[in-house]
């Protein structure tokens, strides 16, 4: 039986998820927390408390899904959401 090891990808839609940046190559992004309101191939747009929006480059951040505690490496999801869903 052939067991393929697959790197876990994050298939589902991020929009609506509450996230918190736990690490970033750009230290100014570390600690940003809010609800994802938009996503492109390269970026995630987060609405922070107080109404401030932050656009984060996926390739340089590591973030946590607040609800599940799951850690996501942005570079692993740096593609369009619809491409991610195809796997």
Beta strands in the chain (DSSP E): 18-24, 33-39, 43-48, 53-57, 61-65, 71-73
Residue 22's pLDDT is: 97
Q: Which two tokens stand for residue 6?
A: 């697959």
What confidence tens digit (pLDDT) does each residue in 18-40 have?
A: 999 999 999 999 999 999 999 99
Q: What residues of the chain score a pLDDT lower than 50?
A: 1-2, 5-9
Residue with tokens 């600690």: 31
Give Dmax (Cα) for the chain: 54
Residue 7's pLDDT is 44
Q: What is the pTM of this model?
A: 0.79
């Amino acid at each position: 039986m052939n067991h393929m090891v697959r790197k876990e990808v994050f298939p589902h839609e991020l929009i609506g998820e509450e996230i918190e940046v736990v690490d970033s190559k750009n230290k100014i992004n570390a600690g940003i927390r809010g609800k994802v309101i938009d996503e492109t191939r390269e970026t995630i747009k987060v609405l922070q408390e107080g109404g401030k929006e932050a656009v984060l480059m996926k390739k340089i951040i590591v973030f946590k899904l607040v609800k599940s505690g799951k850690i996501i490496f942005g570079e692993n999801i740096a593609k369009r959401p619809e491409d991610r869903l195809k796997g």
